[in-house]
Each structure stands twice: as structure tokens, then as C-alpha cells.
């Protein structure tokens, strides 16, 4: 089983989309191992978005991600990284397919509702920023035997 990091950004939280997004991930067959509702500090934001430090949009990104509460989560499942990214849709909601989270609910690239790790390496790094290993809860879904082979 693979793990991935997902964060519902301040726009998803303030628009009341947390339940809808969690429901989509659960219905896909993924399993939540951890969740934290929090306001990100500038320090956490800078560690999370370290790869974007020298990009022109970085200051606006930090301002946005620290502007309100987020829901940080760890999800597990077969090929969880790619599955979640498919459910989430392309970064720019205008290019995201209908049926994806961004395609159905997003409007602009700078406020695109959700972050999802882009690789298993990124997932490990991002999970470690937000959660300790002891905070990940191991459990078994009732339908797990039907969702992985």
C-alpha cells in the first residue's frame, strides 16, 4: 500500500467543501490514516513549499496558504499518489476535467482547493512535516479485500 499527503486549502475549507472532497476520496477506495485541522504557520508553509522558493508566485502562495485553516491528511491505497492526483485533476481548474475535484469546484489556478503529493518521495517528505509516525492510525476498511489484490 502506498501513502500520500493531501491538504484541503483555505478556499476549500471556507467554501464548505471538506466533506465532499473527503467523500470522493473514500468512495474511490482510499483510506484516511491521519487528519489535522489547523492554521499553517509561515515556517510550516515555507518547508512545505520549499521547492517554489525562487518562483515569482511564491510570496502569494505563502500568503494564501496561511490565510485561513487547512485540513492536512494522510491517505493510503493502491497507487495512492497517482490515484489521488487523478481524482484531484490538473493544477489549473480551467484545464481540469469535469468529474475531478478541481474540474468541478475550482475556478482559478492560485486558489485551486487542494494539494496532493506528486510522488512517493514528496508524500514522505510532506507527511513528515505535518505528522509524526505515531499519529498515523493503522486500520482496515470493511471493503479493503475488494479494493486491492
Candidates 115, 117, 123, 130; catalytic one: 115
**Cβ contacts of 19 within 8 Å, gap of 6 or more:** none
For 81, 98, 106, 120, 139, the CA distances from 114, given in Å and listed in that order, are 14, 16, 9, 17, 25
Tell me how far apart the alpha carbons of residues 9 and 26 are, in angstroms, rounded to a whole number: 18
User: Any catalytic annotation for residue 48?
Assistant: no
- Please list the active-site residues: 115
Amino acid at each position: 500500500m502506498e501513502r500520500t499527503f493531501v491538504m484541503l486549502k483555505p478556499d476549500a475549507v471556507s467554501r464548505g467543501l471538506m466533506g465532499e472532497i473527503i467523500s470522493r476520496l473514500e468512495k474511490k477506495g482510499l483510506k484516511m490514516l491521519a487528519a489535522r485541522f489547523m492554521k499553517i504557520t509561515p515556517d510550516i508553509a515555507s518547508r512545505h513549499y520549499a521547492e517554489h522558493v525562487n518562483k515569482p508566485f511564491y510570496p502569494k502562495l505563502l500568503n494564501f496558504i496561511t490565510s485561513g485553516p487547512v485540513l492536512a491528511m494522510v491517505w493510503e491505497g493502491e497507487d495512492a499518489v497517482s490515484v489521488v492526483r487523478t481524482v484531484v485533476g490538473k493544477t489549473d481548474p480551467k484545464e481540469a476535467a469535469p468529474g475531478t475535484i478541481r474540474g468541478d469546484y475550482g475556478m482559478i489556478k492560485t486558489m485551486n482547493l487542494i494539494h496532493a503529493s506528486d510522488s512517493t518521495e514528496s508524500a514522505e517528505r510532506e507527511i513528515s512535516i505535518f505528522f509524526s509516525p505515531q499519529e498515523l492510525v493503522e486500520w482496515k476498511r470493511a471493503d479493503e479485500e475488494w479494493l486491492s489484490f
